[in-house]
Amino acid sequence: MKRFTVLDTVIMGHGELWEVKQERDRIYALAEMSEEDGYKVADLEVKYGEMDGYSAEARAGELLLGVGIPVEQHYGPMSEVAPGWKLRVLLAQALFSNPDILLLDEPTNNLDIDTIRWLEQTLNDRDSTMIIISHDVTS
């Protein structure tokens, strides 16, 4: 069973990018690459670049920092992240996917005020449709 890092989990939010990355990494890990593998990895490199894959780790890392996950945990196994913090990682994953429509159910639960402010700003900067379910009240 493969253990995924916290950073991997965020990048998985962009399913197509994740699949291209996995196949690309698989081919590069081959002891010997056939001519067919070479052509395939070349096509994958083009797709990876078009999807901004070369900056994926940096973008995912920024989101993780935004939700309060320290850098030293980014390359650690997701299985070792405490349950409450896993929700933050999954919030970063949803944001990384950059969907046309974003549905968030109680996204501020268990977030500190600084992270809530960061999330508000991040959501305000997005140009997508959002449905946010929240019981937070302002006075």
24-64 residue pLDDT tens: 999 999 999 999 999 999 999 999 999 999 999 999 999 99
Residue 101, SS3 per DSSP: strand
- Residue 10 domain boundaries: 6-98
pTM over 0.75: yes
Going by C-alpha positions, the residue among 72, 79, 65 that lies closest to residue 9 is 79
Total domains in the chain come to 1
Domain assignment of residue 36, yes or no: yes
pLDDT of 139 above 60: no
Domain assignment of residue 59, yes or no: yes
